[in-house]
Structure 1
Amino acid sequence: MLLPILATAAVAAFATVATALPTSANHVVHEKRSGSSSWSPMQGVKPDGRITLPVRIGLTESNLHRGDDILMEVSDPASDKYGKHLAAEEVMRYPSPAHTADLTLEQIVELFAPQPKTIDVVRNWLVSSGIESSRISLSRGRNWLNVNASIAEAEALLKTEYKIYEHSTGQKHIACEEYSVPQEIQEHIDLIMPTIHFDTKIVGDPERRKLKRTFNPGDSNNNGFLPKKGPTILGPGADPDLAPLPFALTTCNSQITPDCLRALYNFTNGTLAKSSYAVVEYTPQAYLQSDLNLFYSNLARQIPAGTAPTFDSIDGGVDQTTTQSFDDNGESDLDLQYAIALVYPQTVTLYQTGDTVEGASFNNFLDALDSSYYTSDATYPDPNSGGYKKQDCGRYTATSVISTSYGSNEADLSAAYEVRQCNEYMKLGMAGTTILYSSGDNGVAGNGAECCTKAKCAGGTYNSGKTGTFNPSFPGTCPYVTSVGATQIVSGASVTAPEEACETVIYSGGGFSNVFAMPSYQSSAVKSYFTNHKPSYTATQYNNSETVRGYPDVSANGANYAVAVDGSISLVYGTSASSPTFGSVITLINEQRVNAGKSAVGFINPTLYANPSILNDITSGGNQGCGTAGFTAVSGWDPVTGLGTPNYGKMLPVFMALP
């Protein structure tokens, strides 16, 4: 059984949750960063102690040790409860522990809610520290205590010092190096934000626009997961040295189209429109309807001009058109054009997350699907000019498949933060949602092609150069998501020939976690990999304990996609293309199951690992990075392309045979 906790014995050297080191009185260090060469405190500058911080205290939840068992009950193809996901419409009835597969969405909140003692102990600590009870609120799921506190109050409460940090890109952020809590309450707290995570905004500073969150997934300055642009092949700005090629199956080795993907992965057009599929985008990333129309007219003529996604705005999410460039439109245009084309006539939902003032994080997206998770990574309602004045916790119901082409690094955030977020993907899996994340575009290096210093990746210590310890991605290493790597058609080969790992412009992200233990569904595949193809690298390069989560799980083509961006059709590269493509295949399987009166497939990893032959195994290519050749694609699962690429013709019968 996998528990969503630190793999302590295996990766003690990588852990970021500090041991109980005494500080003052009975306080102990709860979380600590090792520091990052990408961020450094500004000398001689200290934030005004009157600035307000939205302090969020994540309380220790209950029954998480059973979470994996419950998820596997409804996801394991060998289970007689396969597909019996949670349903919000079910009659409320609190089940006995032996009948957890009958849980409703409301009941799952109750199952994992902190014990009353935990809430009381932490609340009493706040009050005894001088925080008025009237200022303390408890989240709907009873798993967060919230209080707006000044920096001065937070520093006294947490025995820490907040500083202004500056990123190598010039961005600034308020954070601290470590914080402490009384020893007697440490077991009742997972984490406290904002502290060491570099992922939360402040409130009330007139210079707040200069102190925005450091990891906004939609910010091209911070996100190495955004797709890479190649030459323009059609329309204004087309490369005069490139003769326009016909969009045909004979040219798939140089430009990928929806028809190429159908030929590659053995599926046809959708027909039933009986499932639900969504892609997630983060402002300022936005699509242009004119680009969608241009794509339809050239590459998906069955789709009428004007066809658009269902727009679900999260925390002020807006399809902004104020700024237009590849950095602003490339990701959204790519994701939506291929998702819509591959599952049409099904309507694709767009979860547009974050306003133009604060942006958003993955937590903001999760908040919108589950009000019990509410983290308030950004501050809503936002009192500042142009800020979003509402709060969207629990506003939307998750679709059956959700693809996200964004990511960060495990080293960017603390292990406690990542475990907490990973548990939310576990809960979505219980409810029957398939969650896919791109594995990254820099091989064994991390977001921004950054590598780590020795074995300190989980402490956030980056090497200033492009060599060093491999830097795993997140959320791709969460065991409750399906991580999608990238492949390519071999140069000069036909569309029906075996693919190889992507080595054109980008390299498929892959490797081994420094935070998460190996999930049970993956253990046989990873054990076989180490038995038959063990890499020559040592613990200096990666976590070679053979007991931790490996990624990606699967892959799909990620090179030479023909995408309409800003009025032209250009070639685009990235696992940003791979994830929505794989998600489209799962959506087509879902519509067949739903049409047959069955549930959506939900968390797919257990079924895929139990039936690896339904995927196209990739056995050549690598994912270089950090001054090395990276890992190599081999027979069976590997940390470059996972189990391989989809084969709809083989996948459908297996999933249709399940209950």
Structure 2
Amino acid sequence: METRALFVVAWLIQLFMALGHCHEIVERLHDVPDGWSKGVKPNPSTSIRFRLEIREPNSTYLERLVIDLSTPGHLNYGKHMKRGEVEELLRPTSAVSDQVLAWLSSEGISNDTIGISGNWISFSATIFQAEQMLKTKFLHYHHDASRKSLIRTLEYSLPPDIHPHVHLIQPTTRFGNPDRHGKGRLYARHGLPVDQPIVATPEDLTAECWTVMRPDCLRELYGLCNTRAKPDPQNRLGVSGFLDQYARHSDFHHFMQRFSPNASDANFDVVILNGGSNLEDSPASSTEASLDIQYAAALAHNASVTFYSTGGRALSVSDTGQSVLENSENEPFLDQLHYLISLPDSELPSVLATSYGEIEQNVPASYARSVCNLFAQLGARGVSVIYSSGDSGVGETCLSNDGKRRVKFQPIFPASCPFVTAVGGVEGIKPEIALDFSSGGFSDLFPRPKYQDREVNRYLDRLGEQWNGLYNRRGRAIPDVACQAKNFIIRDHDTYLKISGTRFVASVN
């Protein structure tokens, strides 16, 4: 008996020691995201470029600082930081960085593939290496509607000595991609397609402002009149482009000459990121880019306008392991934001307007927080980040994806990040009323910032117990503001079109 007892004790000690070396889960999805299905295992020799984020020691302090310097009347209001100051504030200790780099080296990651930028480390690994180091299994996953194919996993883990220092590694659990808000939905009351343009009639081009929206209508409605920005290189407006949407100079110049003749000499620059492009001769629709760039320039007289075309559809790998060109997704938000935060202060845009987003619950929490923190870094340096709130009302899907399939309202990300200005849509003039497809609500991920408390509490008091349990009363409320989003006139592929959606509102604001 004594020998047996000693054996059991020894076995338990060995088991305890073994468990002590087990990896700890960083992120786990409860199920395959809606609309996606599992495919076959990828070729083990396929190489993937990963991004690893080391936890920032002062991220909470930075977020408080951004709120302070953005609050009129606060002692720090307007005291924006320099790039070097933000980098120094968020730089991890050398001990932590060295520990993470040593772990990568021990897993066979070549130093030649490693890149370091602040608290982010990029590296390349084969599927075989990644599965070993993250204790996971990658598969091909297929998106049923778009036929997109990605290599992803539903969870990944890290050694216990590395786990506390790493916030995320992607691409792993990140399936979704930015979408044009409300794609294919119908505007309920009047049957006007959201994100599906119709050809504008000659009467539309000169109609009264209460029936259509043009730059002159918006300038009069919102008191801009002949307001012009100071001709200063620092007055730069950035417009985001994703999903192979191209800004066409020919359409732009025709639009400006007709609807903004006082700024008919305006132009815009194009910056290509992450293998993106701006194929102005492409026959594909470019209504999103056309709308964004045309109204941004028409309403911001004298400001320099830059179109940031970020690729997210590069080489992907088929089920057979062959590299093919199709609709793969390479974390376009991260690529765009990493480019921007790397810019010298003098080259940053004053405003970044973006009309893309996705349902918040479809975004891994760690990924959403990382993107939101990058927005905070831009805000600390004086960049106003504007996102449209979406065109899906309280949610295109009303079921949770946490395995419980609960009925709930769905907020939109990145509009739900408290460090962006979320803009919703209205229609009508005197009074303006909310559009029934304009998204809004409360974040399930980000708590409500104090600057919203007074107005949101008043709203909740009026709402009472209606819709209790379908939304997070303590979450960040969206949108922050709203403006016209119906019957806009744009020009695309030499044709004037009429279209509706909150995707206009980011550029208008």
TM-score (norm 2): 0.84
Partner of 1:542: 471
Partner of 1:252: 209
1:139 aligned counterpart, secondary structure: strand
Partner of 2:157: 180
2:352 matches 1:402: yes
- Within a 5 Å distance, the mapping from 1:61-100 to structure 2 comes to 61-86=56-81
Cα distance, 1:559 vs structure 2: 0.2
Q: Provide the rounded CA distance (Å) in 2 between the counterparts of 1:346 and 1:558.
A: 23
For residue 58 of structure 1, what is the amino acid of its counterpart? E
CA separation of 1:132 and 1:573: change in aligned 2, threshold 3 A:
closer
Partner of 1:40: 37
Provide structure 2 residue ranges, at least 5 long, that are not aligned to the other structure.
1-17, 187-192, 316-328
2:279 matches 1:320: yes
CA separation of 1:246 and 1:397: change in aligned 2, threshold 3 A:
closer
> Residues 503-559 of structure 1: CA distance to partner in whole angstroms, max 9, x if unpaired?
3xxx111111111111111122222211222351132x222xx22111111111000
Cα distance, 1:289 vs structure 2: 2.4
Q: Provide the rounded CA distance (Å) in 2 between the counterparts of 1:219 and 1:82.
A: 33
Q: Is the 8 A contact 2:181 2:501 kept in 1?
A: no
CA separation of 1:354 and 1:136: change in aligned 2, threshold 3 A:
closer
2:399 matches 1:452: yes
- Within a 5 Å distance, the mapping from 1:465-484 to structure 2 comes to 468-484=407-423
2:476 matches 1:553: no
Q: Provide the rounded CA distance (Å) in 2 between the counterparts of 1:298 and 1:511.
A: 38
Cα distance, 1:288 vs structure 2: 2.1
Provide structure 1 residue ranges, at least 5 long, that are not aligned to the other structure.
1-21, 87-103, 199-213, 236-243, 372-392, 490-494, 583-659
CA separation of 1:285 and 1:230: change in aligned 2, threshold 3 A:
closer
For residue 301 of structure 1, what is the amino acid of its counterpart? P
1:173 aligned counterpart, secondary structure: strand
1:261 aligned counterpart, secondary structure: helix
Partner of 2:201: 234
Partner of 1:277: 237
Partner of 2:324: none
Q: Provide the rounded CA distance (Å) in 2 between the counterparts of 1:462 and 1:339.
A: 43
Cα distance, 1:302 vs structure 2: 2.4
CA separation of 1:356 and 1:512: change in aligned 2, threshold 3 A:
closer
Partner of 2:269: 310
2:55 matches 1:60: yes
Partner of 1:265: 222
Partner of 1:125: 103
2:125 matches 1:149: yes
- Within a 5 Å distance, the mapping from 1:250-399 to structure 2 comes to 251-271=208-228, 272-274=230-232, 275-304=235-264, 307-325=266-284, 328-354=285-311, 357=314, 361-371=332-342, 397-399=347-349
- Count of aligned pairs: 467
Q: Provide the rounded CA distance (Å) in 1 between the counterparts of 2:245 and 2:194.
A: 12
For residue 480 of structure 1, what is the amino acid of its counterpart? F
2:27 matches 1:31: yes
For residue 217 of structure 2, what is the amino acid of its counterpart? C
Q: Mean alpha-carbon deviation: is it higher for 180-189 or for 511-520?
A: 180-189
Q: Is the 8 A contact 2:109 2:123 kept in 1?
A: no
Q: Provide the rounded CA distance (Å) in 2 between the counterparts of 1:513 and 1:219.
A: 17
Partner of 1:411: 361
For residue 502 of structure 1, what is the amino acid of its counterpart? L
- Within a 5 Å distance, the mapping from 1:435-584 to structure 2 comes to 435-445=385-395, 449-453=396-400, 456=401, 459=402, 468-489=407-428, 495=429, 497-503=430-436, 507-534=437-464, 536-539=466-469, 541-543=470-472, 546-582=473-509
CA separation of 1:564 and 1:133: change in aligned 2, threshold 3 A:
closer
Q: Is the 8 A contact 1:270 1:345 kept in 2?
A: no
CA separation of 1:56 and 1:276: change in aligned 2, threshold 3 A:
closer
2:134 matches 1:158: yes
Q: Provide the rounded CA distance (Å) in 2 between the counterparts of 1:412 and 1:296.
A: 38
Q: Is the 8 A contact 2:174 2:363 kept in 1?
A: yes
Partner of 2:11: none
CA separation of 1:152 and 1:499: change in aligned 2, threshold 3 A:
same
Q: Is the 8 A contact 2:24 2:158 kept in 1?
A: yes
Q: Is the 8 A contact 1:285 1:331 kept in 2?
A: yes
CA separation of 1:223 and 1:335: change in aligned 2, threshold 3 A:
farther
1:111 aligned counterpart, secondary structure: helix
Q: Mean alpha-carbon deviation: is it higher for 475-484 or for 333-342?
A: 333-342
Cα distance, 1:311 vs structure 2: 2.2
CA separation of 1:563 and 1:304: change in aligned 2, threshold 3 A:
same
- Within a 5 Å distance, the mapping from 1:190-205 to structure 2 comes to 190-198=167-175
CA separation of 1:553 and 1:515: change in aligned 2, threshold 3 A:
same
Cα distance, 1:292 vs structure 2: 1.9
Cα distance, 1:55 vs structure 2: 2.7
Q: Is the 8 A contact 1:558 1:578 kept in 2?
A: yes
2:171 matches 1:171: no
Percent identical:
30
> Residues 416-470 of structure 1: CA distance to partner in whole angstroms, max 9, x if unpaired?
111111111111111111100010011111xxx33333xx3xx4x797xxx9422
CA separation of 1:172 and 1:304: change in aligned 2, threshold 3 A:
same
Q: Is the 8 A contact 2:376 2:419 kept in 1?
A: yes
> Residues 458-487 of structure 1: CA distance to partner in whole angstroms, max 9, x if unpaired?
x4x797xxx942221111010000000000
Query: Which residue of 100, 117, 123 maps to 1:140?
Result: 117
CA separation of 1:346 and 1:53: change in aligned 2, threshold 3 A:
closer
Q: Is the 8 A contact 1:258 1:299 kept in 2?
A: yes
1:117 aligned counterpart, secondary structure: helix
TM-score (norm 1): 0.66
More strand by share: 2
1:108 aligned counterpart, secondary structure: helix
CA separation of 1:105 and 1:220: change in aligned 2, threshold 3 A:
same
Q: Provide the rounded CA distance (Å) in 1 between the counterparts of 2:178 and 2:345.
A: 21
Q: Provide the rounded CA distance (Å) in 2 between the counterparts of 1:64 and 1:144.
A: 14
For residue 547 of structure 1, what is the amino acid of its counterpart? R
For residue 189 of structure 1, what is the amino acid of its counterpart? V
RMSD (CA atoms): 2.8
For residue 415 of structure 2, what is the amino acid of its counterpart? G
For residue 367 of structure 2, what is the amino acid of its counterpart? Y
CA separation of 1:565 and 1:82: change in aligned 2, threshold 3 A:
same
Q: Provide the rounded CA distance (Å) in 2 between the counterparts of 1:221 and 1:159.
A: 37
Q: Mean alpha-carbon deviation: is it higher for 70-79 or for 510-519?
A: 70-79
Q: Mean alpha-carbon deviation: is it higher for 273-282 or for 131-140?
A: 131-140
2:189 matches 1:215: no
Q: Provide the rounded CA distance (Å) in 2 between the counterparts of 1:531 and 1:510.
A: 18
> Residues 373-421 of structure 1: CA distance to partner in whole angstroms, max 9, x if unpaired?
xxxxxxxxxxxxxxxxxxxx87993211111111122222211111111
Cα distance, 1:116 vs structure 2: 2.3
